[in-house]
């Protein structure tokens, strides 16, 4: 009976580890795929597609994954480009998307706190300039 319990425990541990690895691999793949979709859209000048791709990549949060930082930088760039073009509404959309993506990624700690702070400053500066539609 003791041998049977050990076998069940070992098999259970293996199943748990494999499940976690599959989850991590799937998340990693989706993160990279979303980032590439953002890059493709950015290259074509598609603001909405780029924003969606980069924001979705951040939602696939894996701690310390370098693509998360790249996606955040690209969202920030979208906001800056919109600002330079005088499109306050699009700039606000980009900064809010960046901030919201990190807020949604709350984990053991809050990731992206530096980005959130930077976005808060930009949003506070741009909201008074926003035109009513």
No. of helices (H) and no. of strands (E), the chain: 5, 0
Question: What's the first-to-final CA gap in the chain, in angstroms?
Answer: 73
Which of 25, 122, 40, 23 is CA-nearest to residue 74?
Answer: 40
Tens digit of each residue's pLDDT (9 = 90 or more) over 68-104: 999 999 999 999 999 999 999 999 999 999 999 999 9
Tens digit of each residue's pLDDT (9 = 90 or more) over 9-46: 889 999 999 999 999 899 899 999 999 999 999 999 99
Sign for the pseudo-dihedral over CA of 57, 63, 66, 71: positive
What does the DSSP 8-state code read for residue 103?
Answer: H
Domains with residue ranges and CATH for the chain: 31-129 (1.25.40)
């Amino acid at each position: 009976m003791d041998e049977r319990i050990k076998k069940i425990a070992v098999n259970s541990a293996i199943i748990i580890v494999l499940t976690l690895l599959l989850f991590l691999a799937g998340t990693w793949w989706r993160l990279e795929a979303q980032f590439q979709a953002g890059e493709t859209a950015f290259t074509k000048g598609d603001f909405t597609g780029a924003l969606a791709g980069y924001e979705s990549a951040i939602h696939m949060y894996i701690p310390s994954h370098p693509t998360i930082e790249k996606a955040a930088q690209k969202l920030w760039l979208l906001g800056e480009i919109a600002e330079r073009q005088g499109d306050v509404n699009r700039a606000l959309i980009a900064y809010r998307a960046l901030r919201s993506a990190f807020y949604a990624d709350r984990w053991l700690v809050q990731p992206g706190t530096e980005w959130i702070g930077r976005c808060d400053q930009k949003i506070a500066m741009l909201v008074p300039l926003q035109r009513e539609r």
